[in-house]
Amino acid sequence: RGPFPGIIDIYGVGGGLLEYRASLLAGHGFAVMAVAYYDFEDLPKVPNTLEMEYFEEAVCYLLQHPQVKGPDIGLLGLSLGADICLSMASFLKNISATVSINGSAFCANRPIHYKQTTIPALGYDLRRTKTTFSGILDILDVRNDIVGGCENPSMIPIEKAKGPLLFIVGQDDHNWRSDLYAQVASERLQTHGKEKPQIISYPGTGHYIEPPYFPVCLASLHTLVNKAVIWGGEVRAHSKAQIDAWKQILSFFGKHLGDTQNPRL
């Protein structure tokens, strides 16, 4: 019986609606909504711009649900989904805990809009793409450098977030430099008088951190280049990271979204 603490779950490039992680979290006493934002039903085929108003509607919808315990909810995102979650936490109200799995805290490839505010994209240059021995692409270096460090204009204003942020990082991330970005995010928070965020960093772990016991996805199609790219990570280390990261996520939400009923951590 509810009401339960609410969580919104957002995946990255690939589009569509992925609900398995939301379902797994719901088994731990949370009311979880997986949110699609492109390539699903009447949504745009490609995410050309990201409008925070769309995600704000999702927050309002969830908070008005009779089975959801307010006044705040949590956010969980992977990759581009993590950057969307960090933007939501920065711009929207009623969010009190945010988990970024291999997010960058930058507006990377496309601008993010909310009302009168636009965060410009950091940009990239595909000429920096490398090809691995197997013919699969490595896009680790395509992103433009962070000029100006944590005050770069493409950085998401994470110091505005009300609740704590948890950064989960794969040290062998080949999608982007999660490790570096989490450090820059931490610097930005501290420069603005906020506390250091919790950063959990896993060796031998790639970009695509999934729930425990999911097969490790070492490479797959990336819509940026429309070809297979490597995500990084070694199978054993990455699998162990997936088990630990899940425990950390559950305990973070359990702590910051209030007690859940029948927690099975």
Binding of residue 138 to ligand NAG (CB under 6 A): no
> Are 110 and 124 within 8 A, CB to CB?
no
Least distance from ligand NAG to the Cβ atom of residue 118, Å: 25
Instruction: Mark the segment that binds ligand NAG (CB under 6 A) among 41-49, 124-132, 159-167, 227-235.
Output: 227-235
> Are 196 and 190 within 8 A, CB to CB?
yes
Binding of residue 239 to ligand NAG (CB under 6 A): no
Binding of residue 263 to ligand NAG (CB under 6 A): no
Least distance from ligand NAG to the Cβ atom of residue 102, Å: 3
Restricting to residues 158-197, which ones interact with ligand NAG according to CB under 6 A? Answer: 168, 170, 172-175, 178
Of 101, 105, 156, 185, the one binding ligand NAG by CB under 6 A: 101
Q: Using CA atoms, how far apart are residues 115 and 233, in angstroms rounded to an integer?
A: 38
Using CB under 6 A, count the residues that bind ligand NAG: 25
Of 13, 19, 94, 240, the one binding ligand NAG by CB under 6 A: 94
Binding of residue 231 to ligand NAG (CB under 6 A): yes
Q: Which residues bind ligand NAG (CB under 6 A)?
A: 63, 70-71, 78, 93-94, 101-102, 168, 170, 172-175, 178, 205-209, 231-233, 238, 245
